[in-house]
Amino acid sequence: MSETRAEIRLPTQELRNDIPFFTKTLGMRMDMIYPADDPSVAVFSGHGLRLRIEKGAPEAPGTLRILTENPDTFAEGQRSLTAPNGTKIEIDELNPPLVVPPTLHSFMVRRLKDQAPWVVGRAGMMYRDLVPDRLGGAMIASHIRIPDGGPVPDMVHFHKVGFQLIFCIAGWVDVVYEDQGEPIRLTPGSCFIQPPQIRHRVLHASDGIEVIEIGVPAEHVTEIDHEMTLPTPHLRPEREWDGQRFVWNTPDDAVWTPFRTRGFEARDTTINANTQGVASVLVVRPTEGETAWHSHKGDILFTYVMQGTMRLEGEGRTPYPLETGDAFVVPPGMRVRYSEASADLELLEVSLPGTFETIEDQS
């Protein structure tokens, strides 16, 4: 088999000045230099790159980013350098710690009839943003759909997140997960918790598949794993990733218990327990009796109207009539009431942390 190589060409004015910088300072290897009597081209390799430094090349010097597990010991701890040829060098963490910005609390209502734009995202899927301000970067909530079903052009990948939920509201989708056996079909009312960095791949979807995806923080990295083949040979349902287990919860044999405020009941998806309190995901529906004004002492409280209608009342706010496809966020300390719920109302409530206090008016 013939060998193929790729090089990035960078300019220089005086090659002899670049050689010690790229070999000693950056720790690269010089693989080629010519002509011998008056060198004008040198090729260096290292850190996954192959660089061709060429005298008089027409390109701009550019910027080279080097990611390392120990940036404080690389290039004598410098994070920003400039090579003799003018190339800027940035040194950064190979695996930077996950940072969740402080929540910027706000009261937010997003209605489907407001016609927020659908944007083409990863693997050709359509995304509608349910929390436009993203609470200052603390979370992202997306309504995702694939209009035409069939095979999904996805690859084995993982997300560097603190929490991620996939909740199916219409259609079905087949997904395969690391150490969780054969592909699993997600159907309406069912959900997955994707622990941080669990490898997975979306395989097939029905026509009209729709899911709600919640991610913390809002901006997180998706990486492709070119080495792993799914399904993996081992079935490890008890495995944890950063203290979280994979969860596949369905409404089959669901147990309904009183909700945190009067006039509603809820079924628990077990996510609070399996994330060690990072988050809770409940499906909520109305019961008989009056509803109450209440507030909460959590951090993030997101709700999506999966079906039916209701009226969202907020202290000092004009009431919002809500229907299927609408979403809202209630900040801590704000008094609200859910009223005029239709008999078929069904809400998806996601809270972080999973356990928090609700203060209900007793009048």
Domain-by-domain residue ranges, the chain?
8-93, 108-248, 256-360
CA–CA separation, 285 and 290 (whole Å): 14
What tokens does 77 get? 């701890």
Confidence (pLDDT) at 363:
63
Give yes or no for a contact between 53 and 61, defined as CB atoms under 8 angstroms apart: no
Q: Tell me the three state secondary structure of residue 124.
A: helix
Fold identical between 8-93 and 108-248? no
The predicted pLDDT at position 88 comes to 97
Tokens of 313: 């009342």
CATH H-level superfamily of 108-248: Jelly Rolls (2.60.120.10)
Taking only the tens of pLDDT, the chain with its 363 residues reads 688 999 999 999 999 999 999 999 999 999 999 998 999 999 999 999 999 999 999 999 999 999 999 999 999 999 999 999 999 999 999 888 888 899 999 999 999 988 778 888 766 678 899 999 999 999 999 999 988 889 988 999 999 999 999 999 999 999 999 999 999 999 999 999 999 999 999 999 999 899 999 999 998 889 999 999 999 999 999 999 999 999 999 999 889 999 999 999 999 999 999 999 999 999 999 998 899 999 999 999 999 999 999 999 999 999 999 999 999 999 999 999 999 999 999 999 999 999 999 999 986
- The structure tokens 């002509």 sit at 35
Q: Find out if CATH 2.60.120.10 is the number for domain 256-360.
A: yes
Place of tokens 């998706």: 222
Are the C-beta atoms of residues 87 and 64 closer than 8 Å to each other?
yes
Q: How far is CA 340 from the centre of its chain?
A: 34
Nearest CA-CA partner of 284 in 270, 303, 312? 303
Q: pTM value?
A: 0.87
For domain 8-93, the question of CATH label 3.40.50.300 is answered with no
| Listed residue (357, 353, 243, 240) closest to 295, CA to CA | 357
Six-digit token pair at 275?
């994330």
